[in-house]
A and B are shown apart, each in its own frame.
Chain A
Amino acid sequence: MNIWLVLLLGGLITFGMRFSLIYLFGRFEIPQTMRMALHYVPPAVLSAIIFPELFFHANQFDLSLGNTRLLAGLVAILMAWYTKNTLLTIIAGMTALLIFQYL
Protein backbone atom coordinates (compact mmCIF):
# COMPACT_ATOMS: atom_id res chain seq x y z
CA MET A 1 0.00 0.00 0.00
CA ASN A 2 1.23 3.48 -0.85
CA ILE A 3 2.61 5.36 2.16
CA TRP A 4 0.38 8.37 1.50
CA LEU A 5 -2.70 6.17 1.38
CA VAL A 6 -1.66 4.61 4.71
CA LEU A 7 -1.25 8.08 6.24
CA LEU A 8 -4.56 9.30 4.84
CA LEU A 9 -6.52 6.24 6.01
CA GLY A 10 -4.66 6.25 9.33
CA GLY A 11 -5.71 9.88 9.79
CA LEU A 12 -9.32 9.06 8.91
CA ILE A 13 -9.38 6.15 11.39
CA THR A 14 -7.95 8.37 14.14
CA PHE A 15 -10.37 11.18 13.39
CA GLY A 16 -13.27 8.70 13.18
CA MET A 17 -12.58 7.43 16.67
CA ARG A 18 -12.33 10.93 18.13
CA PHE A 19 -15.48 12.07 16.32
CA SER A 20 -17.53 8.86 16.80
CA LEU A 21 -19.22 9.36 20.15
CA ILE A 22 -19.30 13.14 19.99
CA TYR A 23 -21.36 12.63 16.83
CA LEU A 24 -23.42 9.71 18.11
CA PHE A 25 -24.16 11.28 21.50
CA GLY A 26 -27.31 9.80 23.02
CA ARG A 27 -27.51 7.00 20.46
CA PHE A 28 -24.64 4.76 21.55
CA GLU A 29 -22.83 4.03 24.83
CA ILE A 30 -19.50 2.26 25.25
CA PRO A 31 -20.11 -1.08 27.06
CA GLN A 32 -18.46 -1.42 30.48
CA THR A 33 -16.24 -4.35 29.40
CA MET A 34 -14.86 -2.37 26.48
CA ARG A 35 -14.15 0.57 28.76
CA MET A 36 -12.14 -1.79 30.97
CA ALA A 37 -10.37 -3.37 27.99
CA LEU A 38 -9.23 0.02 26.64
CA HIS A 39 -6.93 0.52 29.62
CA TYR A 40 -4.87 -2.46 28.52
CA VAL A 41 -4.34 -1.33 24.93
CA PRO A 42 -1.12 0.68 25.46
CA PRO A 43 0.85 -1.91 27.49
CA ALA A 44 -0.34 -4.73 25.21
CA VAL A 45 0.44 -3.10 21.85
CA LEU A 46 3.73 -1.58 22.93
CA SER A 47 4.98 -4.80 24.59
CA ALA A 48 4.08 -6.70 21.42
CA ILE A 49 6.53 -4.43 19.60
CA ILE A 50 9.20 -4.22 22.33
CA PHE A 51 9.69 -7.95 23.01
CA PRO A 52 10.68 -9.05 19.47
CA GLU A 53 12.92 -5.97 19.16
CA LEU A 54 14.85 -7.09 22.23
CA PHE A 55 14.82 -10.88 21.91
CA PHE A 56 15.27 -11.33 18.16
CA HIS A 57 18.57 -10.56 16.55
CA ALA A 58 18.90 -10.91 12.76
CA ASN A 59 15.64 -12.91 12.72
CA GLN A 60 16.99 -15.38 15.29
CA PHE A 61 15.79 -15.75 18.88
CA ASP A 62 18.86 -14.73 20.89
CA LEU A 63 19.02 -15.06 24.67
CA SER A 64 22.83 -14.85 24.87
CA LEU A 65 25.01 -12.14 26.40
CA GLY A 66 26.00 -11.25 22.85
CA ASN A 67 22.51 -9.82 22.30
CA THR A 68 23.40 -6.20 23.03
CA ARG A 69 19.89 -4.86 22.38
CA LEU A 70 18.41 -7.14 25.03
CA LEU A 71 20.99 -5.99 27.59
CA ALA A 72 20.52 -2.32 26.69
CA GLY A 73 16.74 -2.80 26.83
CA LEU A 74 17.03 -4.13 30.38
CA VAL A 75 19.05 -1.04 31.35
CA ALA A 76 16.30 1.14 29.84
CA ILE A 77 13.57 -0.79 31.70
CA LEU A 78 15.37 -0.19 35.01
CA MET A 79 15.79 3.49 34.18
CA ALA A 80 12.12 3.83 33.22
CA TRP A 81 11.07 2.05 36.42
CA TYR A 82 13.07 4.31 38.72
CA THR A 83 12.80 7.68 36.96
CA LYS A 84 9.57 7.41 34.87
CA ASN A 85 11.32 9.87 32.54
CA THR A 86 11.11 9.32 28.76
CA LEU A 87 14.23 11.24 27.82
CA LEU A 88 16.42 9.66 30.51
CA THR A 89 15.18 6.20 29.49
CA ILE A 90 16.11 6.75 25.85
CA ILE A 91 19.52 8.21 26.75
CA ALA A 92 20.29 5.34 29.16
CA GLY A 93 19.28 2.68 26.63
CA MET A 94 21.18 4.27 23.76
CA THR A 95 24.32 4.81 25.85
CA ALA A 96 24.14 1.22 27.10
CA LEU A 97 23.76 -0.10 23.54
CA LEU A 98 26.77 1.90 22.30
CA ILE A 99 28.88 0.69 25.24
CA PHE A 100 27.84 -2.99 24.88
CA GLN A 101 28.50 -2.87 21.14
CA TYR A 102 31.94 -1.43 21.77
CA LEU A 103 32.89 -4.08 24.40
Chain B
Amino acid sequence: MSESRKMFLEGVRAEVPLLIGVFPFGMIYGALALNAGLSNSAAQLMSSIVFAGSAQFVTAQLIHEGAPGVVILLTIAVVNLRHMLYSASLAPYLKNLSLRWKVLLSYLLTDEAYAPSIINYEKGGVQPFSHWFLFGAGFALWFIWQMSTALGIFLGAAIPQEWPLDFALPLTFIAMVVPVLKNRPMIAAALSAGFVALLAYGLPFKLGIILAALTGIIAGTVLEGRKSSRGIV
Protein backbone atom coordinates (compact mmCIF):
# COMPACT_ATOMS: atom_id res chain seq x y z
CA MET B 1 0.00 0.00 0.00
CA SER B 2 1.33 3.43 -0.85
CA GLU B 3 2.33 5.73 1.98
CA SER B 4 -0.30 8.31 1.02
CA ARG B 5 -3.08 5.74 1.05
CA LYS B 6 -1.93 4.44 4.42
CA MET B 7 -2.09 7.92 5.93
CA PHE B 8 -5.49 8.53 4.33
CA LEU B 9 -6.90 5.36 5.90
CA GLU B 10 -5.36 6.26 9.25
CA GLY B 11 -7.22 9.56 9.10
CA VAL B 12 -10.46 7.78 8.24
CA ARG B 13 -9.95 5.38 11.13
CA ALA B 14 -9.30 8.20 13.60
CA GLU B 15 -12.52 9.84 12.43
CA VAL B 16 -14.80 6.81 12.91
CA PRO B 17 -15.71 7.37 16.60
CA LEU B 18 -16.66 10.97 15.76
CA LEU B 19 -18.79 9.82 12.83
CA ILE B 20 -21.03 7.84 15.15
CA GLY B 21 -21.98 11.09 16.87
CA VAL B 22 -22.23 13.05 13.61
CA PHE B 23 -24.58 10.69 11.80
CA PRO B 24 -27.75 11.29 13.87
CA PHE B 25 -26.88 14.98 13.93
CA GLY B 26 -26.84 15.12 10.13
CA MET B 27 -30.18 13.32 10.00
CA ILE B 28 -31.70 15.78 12.46
CA TYR B 29 -30.36 18.63 10.35
CA GLY B 30 -31.91 17.19 7.16
CA ALA B 31 -35.32 16.69 8.76
CA LEU B 32 -35.31 20.12 10.46
CA ALA B 33 -34.17 22.02 7.40
CA LEU B 34 -37.20 20.74 5.51
CA ASN B 35 -39.45 21.65 8.40
CA ALA B 36 -37.92 25.14 8.48
CA GLY B 37 -39.12 25.64 4.93
CA LEU B 38 -36.05 24.81 2.83
CA SER B 39 -36.51 22.78 -0.34
CA ASN B 40 -34.99 19.30 -0.54
CA SER B 41 -32.22 20.50 -2.81
CA ALA B 42 -31.42 23.60 -0.72
CA ALA B 43 -31.30 21.49 2.47
CA GLN B 44 -29.01 18.94 0.80
CA LEU B 45 -26.75 21.43 -0.96
CA MET B 46 -26.29 23.51 2.18
CA SER B 47 -24.51 20.44 3.58
CA SER B 48 -21.96 20.58 0.76
CA ILE B 49 -21.78 24.35 0.13
CA VAL B 50 -21.59 25.53 3.75
CA PHE B 51 -20.55 22.19 5.31
CA ALA B 52 -20.60 23.40 8.93
CA GLY B 53 -23.05 21.75 11.33
CA SER B 54 -23.93 24.47 13.80
CA ALA B 55 -23.99 27.21 11.14
CA GLN B 56 -26.41 25.08 9.09
CA PHE B 57 -28.77 24.61 12.06
CA VAL B 58 -28.68 28.34 12.80
CA THR B 59 -29.28 29.18 9.12
CA ALA B 60 -32.29 26.84 8.98
CA GLN B 61 -33.70 28.48 12.12
CA LEU B 62 -33.21 32.01 10.75
CA ILE B 63 -34.77 31.11 7.40
CA HIS B 64 -37.71 29.67 9.35
CA GLU B 65 -38.04 33.00 11.20
CA GLY B 66 -37.85 34.94 7.96
CA ALA B 67 -34.63 36.80 8.82
CA PRO B 68 -33.08 38.85 5.98
CA GLY B 69 -30.09 37.43 4.11
CA VAL B 70 -27.59 39.92 5.52
CA VAL B 71 -28.45 38.99 9.10
CA ILE B 72 -28.18 35.28 8.25
CA LEU B 73 -24.73 35.87 6.71
CA LEU B 74 -23.55 37.93 9.71
CA THR B 75 -24.69 35.15 12.03
CA ILE B 76 -22.93 32.49 9.92
CA ALA B 77 -19.77 34.60 10.16
CA VAL B 78 -19.99 34.86 13.95
CA VAL B 79 -20.81 31.17 14.42
CA ASN B 80 -17.90 30.13 12.18
CA LEU B 81 -15.29 32.52 13.59
CA ARG B 82 -13.77 29.64 15.55
CA HIS B 83 -12.59 28.12 12.28
CA MET B 84 -9.99 30.88 12.09
CA LEU B 85 -8.49 29.36 15.22
CA TYR B 86 -8.23 25.96 13.55
CA SER B 87 -6.82 27.60 10.46
CA ALA B 88 -4.16 29.37 12.55
CA SER B 89 -3.32 26.24 14.47
CA LEU B 90 -2.86 24.02 11.38
CA ALA B 91 -1.17 26.68 9.24
CA PRO B 92 2.44 25.90 10.24
CA TYR B 93 1.94 22.21 9.37
CA LEU B 94 0.45 22.97 5.95
CA LYS B 95 2.75 25.81 4.89
CA ASN B 96 4.72 23.79 2.32
CA LEU B 97 1.70 22.33 0.50
CA SER B 98 0.50 23.51 -2.90
CA LEU B 99 -2.32 26.04 -3.09
CA ARG B 100 -4.62 23.31 -4.40
CA TRP B 101 -4.05 21.18 -1.30
CA LYS B 102 -4.52 24.19 0.96
CA VAL B 103 -7.87 24.98 -0.68
CA LEU B 104 -9.07 21.37 -0.48
CA LEU B 105 -8.02 20.89 3.16
CA SER B 106 -9.52 24.26 4.14
CA TYR B 107 -12.85 23.26 2.65
CA LEU B 108 -12.77 20.06 4.73
CA LEU B 109 -11.61 21.79 7.94
CA THR B 110 -14.48 21.14 10.37
CA ASP B 111 -14.34 20.78 14.17
CA GLU B 112 -14.39 17.02 13.78
CA ALA B 113 -11.59 16.89 11.19
CA TYR B 114 -9.45 19.36 13.11
CA ALA B 115 -9.50 17.45 16.40
CA PRO B 116 -7.83 14.16 15.34
CA SER B 117 -5.57 15.91 12.81
CA ILE B 118 -4.00 18.38 15.21
CA ILE B 119 -3.36 15.50 17.63
CA ASN B 120 -1.71 13.58 14.80
CA TYR B 121 0.45 16.57 13.80
CA GLU B 122 1.47 17.30 17.38
CA LYS B 123 2.47 13.68 17.84
CA GLY B 124 4.23 13.05 14.54
CA GLY B 125 5.12 16.48 13.18
CA VAL B 126 5.16 17.13 9.45
CA GLN B 127 5.84 13.98 7.40
CA PRO B 128 5.86 13.87 3.57
CA PHE B 129 2.33 12.41 3.55
CA SER B 130 0.85 13.64 6.83
CA HIS B 131 -1.63 15.93 5.06
CA TRP B 132 -3.30 12.75 3.75
CA PHE B 133 -4.34 12.06 7.33
CA LEU B 134 -6.26 15.35 7.49
CA PHE B 135 -7.66 14.62 4.04
CA GLY B 136 -8.85 11.17 5.20
CA ALA B 137 -10.46 12.50 8.38
CA GLY B 138 -12.05 15.43 6.55
CA PHE B 139 -13.30 13.37 3.64
CA ALA B 140 -14.81 10.68 5.90
CA LEU B 141 -16.74 13.37 7.74
CA TRP B 142 -17.80 15.05 4.51
CA PHE B 143 -19.11 11.78 3.09
CA ILE B 144 -21.07 10.83 6.22
CA TRP B 145 -22.47 14.37 6.52
CA GLN B 146 -23.88 14.26 2.95
CA MET B 147 -25.31 10.75 3.49
CA SER B 148 -26.91 11.52 6.84
CA THR B 149 -28.39 14.78 5.51
CA ALA B 150 -29.96 12.87 2.61
CA LEU B 151 -31.40 10.24 4.94
CA GLY B 152 -32.76 12.96 7.24
CA ILE B 153 -34.44 14.71 4.29
CA PHE B 154 -35.90 11.38 3.17
CA LEU B 155 -37.26 10.50 6.62
CA GLY B 156 -38.21 14.10 7.45
CA ALA B 157 -40.64 14.20 4.56
CA ALA B 158 -42.59 11.38 6.25
CA ILE B 159 -43.10 13.30 9.51
CA PRO B 160 -46.61 14.84 9.74
CA GLN B 161 -46.63 18.63 9.26
CA GLU B 162 -48.62 19.31 12.45
CA TRP B 163 -45.93 17.89 14.73
CA PRO B 164 -44.10 20.76 16.46
CA LEU B 165 -40.82 19.68 14.85
CA ASP B 166 -39.58 23.28 14.65
CA PHE B 167 -39.06 23.07 18.42
CA ALA B 168 -36.32 20.48 17.85
CA LEU B 169 -34.02 23.30 16.64
CA PRO B 170 -33.92 25.24 19.93
CA LEU B 171 -33.71 21.86 21.68
CA THR B 172 -30.63 21.00 19.61
CA PHE B 173 -29.09 24.33 20.60
CA ILE B 174 -29.86 23.63 24.27
CA ALA B 175 -28.05 20.31 23.91
CA MET B 176 -25.03 22.18 22.49
CA VAL B 177 -24.93 25.03 25.02
CA VAL B 178 -25.67 23.41 28.38
CA PRO B 179 -22.63 21.09 28.46
CA VAL B 180 -20.18 24.01 27.93
CA LEU B 181 -21.55 26.01 30.88
CA LYS B 182 -18.72 24.84 33.11
CA ASN B 183 -17.46 28.13 34.54
CA ARG B 184 -18.64 31.63 35.39
CA PRO B 185 -17.56 33.42 32.18
CA MET B 186 -19.37 30.80 30.05
CA ILE B 187 -22.54 31.07 32.14
CA ALA B 188 -22.34 34.88 32.02
CA ALA B 189 -21.92 34.79 28.23
CA ALA B 190 -24.99 32.57 27.81
CA LEU B 191 -27.23 34.42 30.27
CA SER B 192 -26.33 37.95 29.15
CA ALA B 193 -26.79 37.00 25.48
CA GLY B 194 -30.16 35.41 26.27
CA PHE B 195 -31.29 38.40 28.33
CA VAL B 196 -30.33 40.95 25.64
CA ALA B 197 -32.04 38.76 23.02
CA LEU B 198 -35.28 39.07 25.02
CA LEU B 199 -34.92 42.84 25.43
CA ALA B 200 -34.01 43.35 21.77
CA TYR B 201 -36.66 40.97 20.44
CA GLY B 202 -38.60 43.81 18.83
CA LEU B 203 -35.64 45.08 16.77
CA PRO B 204 -36.14 44.78 13.01
CA PHE B 205 -34.35 42.24 10.78
CA LYS B 206 -33.58 39.93 13.72
CA LEU B 207 -30.70 42.26 14.57
CA GLY B 208 -31.37 41.40 18.22
CA ILE B 209 -29.56 38.08 17.70
CA ILE B 210 -26.36 39.80 16.55
CA LEU B 211 -26.55 42.40 19.34
CA ALA B 212 -27.20 39.69 21.94
CA ALA B 213 -24.39 37.46 20.66
CA LEU B 214 -21.87 40.31 20.78
CA THR B 215 -22.99 41.20 24.33
CA GLY B 216 -22.49 37.59 25.45
CA ILE B 217 -19.07 37.31 23.79
CA ILE B 218 -17.90 40.57 25.42
CA ALA B 219 -19.31 39.59 28.83
CA GLY B 220 -17.51 36.23 28.79
CA THR B 221 -14.23 37.71 27.55
CA VAL B 222 -14.23 40.56 30.10
CA LEU B 223 -14.98 38.17 32.98
CA GLU B 224 -12.23 35.77 31.91
CA GLY B 225 -9.79 38.66 31.48
CA ARG B 226 -10.55 39.94 34.98
CA LYS B 227 -10.10 36.49 36.45
CA SER B 228 -6.72 35.93 34.82
CA SER B 229 -5.40 39.41 35.73
CA ARG B 230 -6.47 38.83 39.34
CA GLY B 231 -4.55 35.54 39.14
CA ILE B 232 -1.33 37.42 38.35
CA VAL B 233 -1.72 39.79 41.32
List residues of chain A with CB under 8 Å of any chain B CB. 1-11, 13-15, 17-26, 29-30, 33, 35-56, 61, 69, 72-73, 76-77, 80-81, 84-87, 89-90, 93-94, 97-98, 101
Contact = CB atoms under 8 A, between A and B. Distances in A.
A1 B52 CA distance: 21
A31 to B, nearest CB: 11
Nearest to B28: A90
A22 B94 contact: yes
B166 to A, nearest CB: 9
A89 B82 CA distance: 25
A25 B58 contact: no
B167 A93 contact: yes
Contact of B81 (A17, A97, A98): A17
Interface string B46-71: 10011110110011010100001110
Contact of B216 (A15, A43, A86): A43
Contact of B87 (A6, A17, A44, A56): A17
Contacts of B126: none
Nearest to B167: A97
* Chain B interface size range: 35 or more
Given A41-B79, A43-B220, A49 B61 contact: yes
Given A7-B42, A17-B84, A47-B216, 10 more contacts: A14-B55, A42-B176, A45-B213, A47-B190, A48-B197, A86-B25, A86-B175, A90-B168, A93-B167, A94-B171
A24 B190 CA distance: 32
Contact of B189 (A26, A33, A44): A44
Interface string B184-220: 0110011111111110010000001100111111111
Main secondary structure of the interface of B (DSSP, over half): helix
B167 A69 contact: yes
Interface of B: 21, 24-25, 28, 38, 42, 45-46, 49-52, 54-55, 58-59, 61, 63, 68-70, 72-73, 75-88, 90-92, 94-95, 102-103, 105-107, 109, 164, 167-181, 185-186, 189-198, 201, 208-209, 212-221, 224-225
A48 B213 contact: yes
A48 B186 CA distance: 14
B42 A19 contact: no
The list of the 3 closest CB pairs from A to B, nearest first, reads: A1-B69, A44-B216, A40-B220
